[in-house]
Amino acid sequence: MNIRIIDDISSIRKDIIKEDHIRIVKEIIDNVRRYGDQALRDYAKRFDNIELDELMISKEEIDNAYNRINEKEIKALEEMIRRVKKVEEETLDALN
């Protein structure tokens, strides 16, 4: 009988989750390479439930959106950006 400690099981679970995430990210990257902008539109619809006509937005649109939010929302967006960058770095490291 093989008994494992809880911490060991926790790390195994994290590895399994990480492997699954890596597989999904690789699939998304492959689809974007194959299908380009159409894949991006499909993922926007799938994950964000929006249909995009254009993938680029103008500086004016960015400025208008920025001027409509308050300092607390700006801080929240900055934190979100920091977290996304961290996940991106970890994912890229895992893919290599």
Q: Would the CA dihedral through 26, 31, 37, 42 be positive or negative?
A: negative
More confident position, 91 or 5:
91
Q: What is the mean pLDDT of residues 52-66?
A: 93
Q: What is the mean pLDDT of residues 55-79?
A: 94
pLDDT score, position 22: 82
The residues spanned by each domain of the chain are 1-55, 57-96
pLDDT band at residue 8 under the 50/70/90 scheme: low
Q: Give yes or no for a contact between 32 and 39, defined as CB atoms under 8 angstroms apart.
A: yes
pLDDT band at residue 5 under the 50/70/90 scheme: low
pLDDT score, position 14: 59
